[in-house]
């Protein structure tokens, strides 16, 4: 932007004067600071403050900060309600809005401050599209709560609903837990989706290692935010653009981080979407192949006992990178936003004495992987199994079919789902939902009732990072588009074979052909507004559920 010296930009200058800018500030590089602050959730509550500190760093480094906001949707507040349909849609809206601000105001560089789940991939998608020097600042995790002498997170809240259904806890207990589970600002407090994606940003190279780890309310965050402002100017001086950072090797490292840290299944969707924006040919099967080779080396919830704050105290994602690098599973020829190399990160990583959060790759927490990509007659275009480090298994059971999350939740809470069932929840896909809701109310209820390992859940929807249990999501093609999941009937045999990476429907082909001839799409089209536009534009979950 050359507003200060262009005679024809005098009208534009008048508005910058109105904002108090000097001519010198108009001549300096401008740094757009995108904040995903909203006052509707704790996850992004610190972003206004952080933006101020980023701006301080930008000024100190000789730039002119320009702050702006986007929307953000809380997954936890909308979970189990029709509002959840807005969640994945918000990823596209946030990416579009950051991109539009960048295109309109032609910033020289950018910092994106993100927290809650969708804001992180959205910002990275926008960075890839704009391709100007950009830094991602992950605002940080919430501290865990304490309830009746034990550490708790939002995961305990959702599982308490299932425990209540079988009489293990009372409504008073649930209400009391709600007062203690979330003690302050920050993202959900373990390796759920937001922290998974914050880590992905480190390993992709768009966020400086060591910054995202710092919890949202820790004092160290403000100095780190100022440093991020300086890094943006430094990246500008070096001409370092996202297109130089987002390489195939960078995506490999990001997938490794998801696998090694037992990350959220949502990472599959988001990595595919970011790769698409970056022009990288990443397939769902590549993600599956990498995940197969990497064991889980961190003992983080939901598959372990520790929280994100524990990881920070133990040595953070830098320590994870060091362990992965020494095992040779990370690629070294990548570019990181702050100019350090993976070897530099590893060399300065310090594991706190006695820490039990991060292990070495040769003695992992769980030898099997975090995620698996399955294909088969029930999911010809692929789906994601939350393997959670389980050893190989074959599971076969009768289908219990539901056409919405609510119907299924009611059946579970009513005690109508029993051990061995394969619960099918369909018409919850990207177009069918629309919006591909997360099934946390269902998985929380199953785990809370002690059915997390004995009941298999299969859906064309998706899962919160908080979800655990034997869950398979992102089934493609989705039911709305007539995928085989639309043809499943109560009592059909469904077979999952984790070693073969298959998900099959054991029904004769002739019977399926008859069902297909009779199949009609349910009459529940959303006719107006953003969800209608989204349903018409969104693609398959196997391609990242992006809009085109």
Residues 6 or more apart whose Cβ sits within 8 Å of residue 378: 458, 475, 484, 485, 488, 494, 503, 504, 505
| Exposure on the CB side of residue 432, measured as CA atoms within 13 A | 29
Contact status, residue 231 vs residue 340, Cβ threshold 8 Å: no
Cβ distance to ligand FES smaller for residue 185 or 240: 185
CB of 141 to ligand FES, least distance (A): 8
Kindly state the tokens that stand for 484. Answer: 């085989």
Query: In this structure, what are the phi and psi dihedrals at residue 343, rounded to the nearest 5 degrees?
Result: -65, -40
Question: Is 116 a binder of ligand FES (CB under 6 A)?
Answer: yes
Positions 354 through 393 that interact with ligand FES (CB under 6 A): none
Cβ distance to ligand FES smaller for residue 195 or 456: 195
Question: Is 41 a binder of ligand FES (CB under 6 A)?
Answer: yes
Q: Which of 64, 187, 217, 257 binds ligand FES (CB under 6 A)?
A: 187
Return the CA Rg of the chain. Answer: 23
| Exposure on the CB side of residue 209, measured as CA atoms within 13 A | 27
Task: Please name which of 194, 105, 153 lies closest in space to residue 438, comparing C-alpha atoms.
Answer: 194
Q: Answer yes or no: 464 catalytic.
A: yes
Positions 69 through 88 that interact with ligand FES (CB under 6 A): 74-76
Task: Please name which of 21, 95, 97 lies closest in space to residue 63, comparing C-alpha atoms.
Answer: 21
From 186-194, 334-342, 349-357, 451-459, give the range in contact with ligand FES by CB under 6 A: 186-194
Question: Is 43 a binder of ligand FES (CB under 6 A)?
Answer: yes
Cβ distance to ligand FES smaller for residue 190 or 472: 190
Kindly state the tokens that stand for 425. Answer: 């929840």
First to last CA, the chain: 30
CB of 475 to ligand FES, least distance (A): 24
CB of 121 to ligand FES, least distance (A): 13
CA separation for the pair 56, 408 (Å, rounded): 50
Kindly state the tokens that stand for 441. Answer: 């109310």
Task: Please name which of 519, 283, 496, 488 lies closest in space to residue 386, comparing C-alpha atoms.
Answer: 496
CA separation for the pair 398, 417 (Å, rounded): 11
Cβ distance to ligand FES smaller for residue 376 or 473: 473
CA separation for the pair 440, 547 (Å, rounded): 24
Q: Residue 374 pairs with which residues in a beta bridge?
A: 383
Q: Which of 134, 464, 498, 542 is catalytic?
A: 464
Task: Please name which of 255, 267, 198, 251 lies closest in space to residue 541, comparing C-alpha atoms.
Answer: 267
Question: Is 441 a binder of ligand FES (CB under 6 A)?
Answer: no
Positions 324 through 343 that interact with ligand FES (CB under 6 A): none
Positions 461 through 520 that interact with ligand FES (CB under 6 A): none
From 15-23, 168-176, 187-195, 299-307, give the range in contact with ligand FES by CB under 6 A: 187-195
Q: Where are the alpha helices (DSSP H) in 181-265?
A: 193-204, 220-237, 242-245, 248-260
From 68-76, 326-334, 377-385, 516-524, give the range in contact with ligand FES by CB under 6 A: 68-76
Task: Please name which of 348, 288, 286, 279 lies closest in space to residue 318, comparing C-alpha atoms.
Answer: 348
Cβ distance to ligand FES smaller for residue 257 or 456: 257
CB of 70 to ligand FES, least distance (A): 15
Question: Is 308 a binder of ligand FES (CB under 6 A)?
Answer: no
The helix/strand/coil state of 370 is: coil
CB of 48 to ligand FES, least distance (A): 17
- Roughly what angle, to the nearest 10 degrees, separates helices 119-130 and 193-204? 30
CB of 192 to ligand FES, least distance (A): 6
Q: Which of 188, 269, 486, 531 binds ligand FES (CB under 6 A)?
A: 188
Q: Which of 49, 92, 99, 117 binds ligand FES (CB under 6 A)?
A: 117
Q: Which of 66, 123, 135, 194 binds ligand FES (CB under 6 A)?
A: 194
CB of 223 to ligand FES, least distance (A): 23
Cβ distance to ligand FES smaller for residue 252 or 437: 437
The helix/strand/coil state of 433 is: coil
CB of 464 to ligand FES, least distance (A): 8
Q: How many residues bind ligand FES (CB under 6 A)?
A: 11
Residues that bind ligand FES (CB under 6 A): 41, 43, 74-76, 116-117, 187-188, 192, 194
Query: Which residues are known catalytic residues?
Result: 464
């Amino acid at each position: 932007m050359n507003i200060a010296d262009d005679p024809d930009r005098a009208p534009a200058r008048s508005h910058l004067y109105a904002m108090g800018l000097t001519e010198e500030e108009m001549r300096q590089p401008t740094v757009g600071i995108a904040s995903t602050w909203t006052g509707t959730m704790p996850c992004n509550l610190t972003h206004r403050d952080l933006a101020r500190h980023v701006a301080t760093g930008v000024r100190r480094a000789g730039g002119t900060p320009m702050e702006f906001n986007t929307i953000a949707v809380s997954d936890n507040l909308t979970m189990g309600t029709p509002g959840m349909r807005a969640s994945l849609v918000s990823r596209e809206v946030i990416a579009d809005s950051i991109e539009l601000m960048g295109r309109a105001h032609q910033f020289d560089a950018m910092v994106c401050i993100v927290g809650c789940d969708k804001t992180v991939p959205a910002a990275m998608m926008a960075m890839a599209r704009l391709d100007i020097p950009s830094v991602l600042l992950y605002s940080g995790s919430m501290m865990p709560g304490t309830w009746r002498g034990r550490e708790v997170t939002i995961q305990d809240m959702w599982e308490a609903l299932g425990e209540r259904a079988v009489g293990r806890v009372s409504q008073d207990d649930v209400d009391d837990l709600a007062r203690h589970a979330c003690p302050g600002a920050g993202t959900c407090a373990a390796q759920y989706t937001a922290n998974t994606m914050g880590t992905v940003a480190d390993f992709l190279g768009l966020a400086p290692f060591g910054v995202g780890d710092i919890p949202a309310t820790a004092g160290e965050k403000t100095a780190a935010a100022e440093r991020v402002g300086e890094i943006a100017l430094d990246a500008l001086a070096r001409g370092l653009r996202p297109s130089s950072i987002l390489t195939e090797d960078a995506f490999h490292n990001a997938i490794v981080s998801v696998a090694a840290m037992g990350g959220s299944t949502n990472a599959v969707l988001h990595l595919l979407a970011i790769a698409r924006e970056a022009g990288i040919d990443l397939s769902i099967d590549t993600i599956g192949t990498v995940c197969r080779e990497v064991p889980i080396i961190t003992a983080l919830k939901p598959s372990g006992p520790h929280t994100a704050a524990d990881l920070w105290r133990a040595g953070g994602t830098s320590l994870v990178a060091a362990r992965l690098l020494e095992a040779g599973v990370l690629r070294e020829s990548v570019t990181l936003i702050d100019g350090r190399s993976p070897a530099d990160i590893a060399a300065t990583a310090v594991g706190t004495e006695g820490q039990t959060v991060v292990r070495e790759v040769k003695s992992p927490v769980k030898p099997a992987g975090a995620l698996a990509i399955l294909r088969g007659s029930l999911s010809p275009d692929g789906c994601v199994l939350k393997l959670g480090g389980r050893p190989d298994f074959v599971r076969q059971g009768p289908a219990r079919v539901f056409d919405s999350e609510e119907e299924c939740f009611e059946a579970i809470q009513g005690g109508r789902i029993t051990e061995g069932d394969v619960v099918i929840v369909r018409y919850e896909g990207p177009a069918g939902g629309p919006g591909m809701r997360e099934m946390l109310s269902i998985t929380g209820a199953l785990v809370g009732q002690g059915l997390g390992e004995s009941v298999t859940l299969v859906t064309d929807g998706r899962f919160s990072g908080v979800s655990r249990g034997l869950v398979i999501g992102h089934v493609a093609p989705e039911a709305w588009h007539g995928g085989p999941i639309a043809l499943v009937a109560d009592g059909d045999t469904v077979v999952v074979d984790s070693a073969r990476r298959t998900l099959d429907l054991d029904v004769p082909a002739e019977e399926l052909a008859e069902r297909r001839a009779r199949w009609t799409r349910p009459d529940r089209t959303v006719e107006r507004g953003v969800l209608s536009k989204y349903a018409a534009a969104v693609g398959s979950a196997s391609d990242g559920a992006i809009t085109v």
